[in-house]
Structures are given as C-alpha cells and as structure tokens.
Amino acid sequence: MSEQKTGIPLIGDSFPKMQVQTTYGVYNLPEDATENGKYWVVLFSHPADFTPVCTTEFHAFAKRNEKFQELNTRLIGLSIDQVFSHIKWGEWIKDNLDTEIPFPIIADHGPVAEKLGMVHPGQGASTVRAVFIIDPKGIIRIILYYPKEIGRNMDEILRCIKALQTADNNNVAIPANWPNNELFGDHVIVPPAKDVNTAKERLANAGKDYECLDWWLCHKKL
C-alpha cells in the first residue's frame, strides 16, 4: 500500500484535487483550469479584496493577460473573501481604473488556503502572496511566496513560464536573468555530462553545436 502524502504541496507534486467556488462558477481543480491538459495555470493568492497593493497587482495581472494567453497560460486569483466581494472589487477596478479583470477569483473560507500553505505564521489569518505555476499535466513546477507588504513582479512570472516551457521543449536548463544573462545572453545551458566519455566528447565537440567554458558548463543558442 502506497504511503499517502501529507502537508502542503511542493514542486514536482500533483496539484491537489479540489472543488472551489469562483467568480466564474464552480471549478474542479486542476482539471477545469488546465482544461484537462491544454493549458498552463498561474494560481495566485492575495491578502484581501479592496486593499491597495492587491489592487495594483490585479491591475498588473489584467494588463498582461494577453501575454499570459500567448504562453498558453491561464490566471486564477484567490483570497479568503466571499464571492460577492470579489465581484464588487472587480467592478470597482473596472469603473475606477478602466481595467476589467478577465480571470476567475476563488472565494475561499480558509480550507483551500490552508491546504496550499498560503497562510503563514506572523502574517495574520489572511493569505500571503503565493504563486503556483502548474503545467498542463497538473504538476506544480514553481512556488513563490511574497510577504503582504511587497507586491509581485508579473514580468518575472511571465519569464518563469517562458523559461519552463523552453526547458521542457528543448531539454535544456535556463541561466540566471535569462534571456539577458550577463555571461551568455539569450543562450541556454546544455545539461552537464553524466559520464566520463560524454565529458570528453563535450570539449572535443565544443564550437559546433554549443560553446563550453568547461565540460560541465556548456551553452548554446536555440
């Protein structure tokens, strides 16, 4: 009999199955969000509706929604607020900031946030700013946590999705600050050799399909 995993989900885990109430109706996660394997998903929590930093974040996410769609990615928000509060806040953002919220927001009473590790000690009873990036198979690929007083950088979240998709599609790794890495620019990293013969071949073949600083540090342009 397999041992049942307990605790909050981690990178590499399947996103836990759950039914949630959203501003777009009832969702069964992760299936409804990924549409059974079609889409990547960014599920993010915010401390509360009608709060200043959260409002700037929702405005920023909404402004980049088309960029997320271009990456075959859907957005879902979450906070421990009732659904009518989410709807009213979305109306306020549209009326006052001329921006419509084009993605669902989960109305949680606490259990979902607790299950996903979004409520942290010393941060009160509301959620911190968590981000779960989930691939089309429902696997959690990235988890980010920000404190309540710091708003997120949505362009970094877009970069994370681009990097994951690039790594998956090309069997490569992604350097720091890609695609503007200080050493290699927009090049990607060739996975290190795992045996002696491959290590020797790496240096012998350097300059053809890739460049190397050493056998364990090779890079190439896609």
Domain that holds residue 196: 171-222
pLDDT of residue 6: 57
pLDDT tens, residue by residue, 17-36: 999 999 999 999 999 999 99
For CA atoms 116, 121, 127, 129, the dihedral sign is negative
CATH code, 101:
3.40.30.10
Determine, yes or no, domain membership for 5. no
Determine, yes or no, domain membership for 116. yes
Residue 109 sits in the same domain as residue 144 = yes
Residue 100 sits in the same domain as residue 182 = no
Residue 97 sits in the same domain as residue 200 = no
Active site residue 218: no
Determine, yes or no, domain membership for 180. yes
Residue 119 sits in the same domain as residue 71 = yes
Determine, yes or no, domain membership for 87. yes
pLDDT of residue 123: 83
pLDDT tens, residue by residue, 125-166: 899 999 999 999 999 999 999 999 999 999 999 999 999 999
> Which of 54, 160, 212, 218 does the annotation list as catalytic?
54
Q: Supply the pTM of this predicted model.
A: 0.94
160-168, long-range: CB within 8 Å, 24+ apart, which pairs? 160/133, 161/40, 161/42, 161/68, 161/71, 161/73, 161/133, 162/71, 164/40, 164/133, 164/135, 165/40, 165/71, 166/222, 168/135
In the listed set 124, 152, 180, which residue is the last one of a domain according to the structure? 152
